[in-house]
Structure 1
């Protein structure tokens, strides 16, 4: 049964040529994402994986475990299955208009979605407080 589930997950999420399942991508506005990166990096157990910065849409994308998109429901963000579409898990070459904020070589494994959800919530509250002080 486990092999059937693994096969179904691989079919839904796409496989890397080496056979590994590709991560999902949580996309947020750059300002909130940068705050979240800071929160994650200074936490008790710093835990932020590779992060993409898309200049054109002013967003950050956090790599998270495959399957995260199936249950992601955080307002102000989106989580998509990459299925390998345009995602290269190498530091270079990069796509035009996008670059790694934290490249796969420098970052650890993908970001834990529960930890990311908390950091994004905290980042949103910090931004709201700062905007209300103006």
Structure 2
């Protein structure tokens, strides 16, 4: 990712902060993580990392649009997919967590990891997000694959 794309990604993410300048200062001089409000520009669907990494791999194909911003939390073993804001979340499933209006999401800057958070697909500043139907299909396929690969009792 080039410097121009990073700069656009920084501006796009920081726009979700109550104080965009303070957000950018926190990224550069603080802990390197900012808490941003979900539900205005984007929501985040957080899933267990095995499921999320497999789903991301399934979506990374020439015939599909480039995946949207994707964040991994290595401490919590979760992957977060950035989606368009939804008024009423319809995401249901074991281990799925939807962060929408009223929720806060910890994010590092697009240009480097911070603590246990890292961008698998950093935001490019265009506002591109996952299409819910595409993400749902990939998660269903990934779940079915993991169900076949995981021996009973080895969750």
After TM superposition, the score normalised by the length of structure 2 is 0.63
CA distance, structure 2, for counterparts of residue 75 and residue 43 of structure 1: 30
CA distance, structure 1, for counterparts of residue 16 and residue 122 of structure 2: 18
Say which SS state the counterpart of residue 61 (structure 1) adopts.
strand
User: 2:95 is matched with which residue?
Assistant: 76
CA distance, structure 1, for counterparts of residue 43 and residue 51 of structure 2: 19
For residue 123 of structure 1, the aligned residue among 132, 135, 142 is 142
Establish whether residue 51 from structure 1 lines up as the match of residue 70 from structure 2.
Answer: yes
For residue 39 of structure 1, the aligned residue among 52, 58, 81 is 58
Please show how residues 92-111 of structure 1 align to structure 2 within 5 Å. 92=111, 94-105=113-124, 109-111=128-130
CA contact (8 A) 1:68 1:113 kept: no
User: 1:10 is matched with which residue?
Assistant: none
CA distance, structure 2, for counterparts of residue 97 and residue 127 of structure 1: 25
CA distance, structure 2, for counterparts of residue 47 and residue 129 of structure 1: 27
Q: How far does the alpha carbon of each residue in 1:69-90 deviate from its partner, in whole angstroms, 9 at most, with x for none?
A: 6222233311111658345584
User: 1:24 is matched with which residue?
Assistant: 43
Where in structure 1 are there 5+ consecutive unaligned residues?
1-14
Question: How many pairs were matched up?
Answer: 118
CA contact (8 A) 1:24 1:63 kept: yes
Cα shift at 1:94: 4.2
CA distance, structure 2, for counterparts of residue 126 and residue 56 of structure 1: 24
Cα shift at 1:113: 1.0
Where in structure 2 are there 5+ consecutive unaligned residues?
1-14, 21-39
Cα shift at 1:128: 1.2
CA distance, structure 2, for counterparts of residue 130 and residue 23 of structure 1: 33
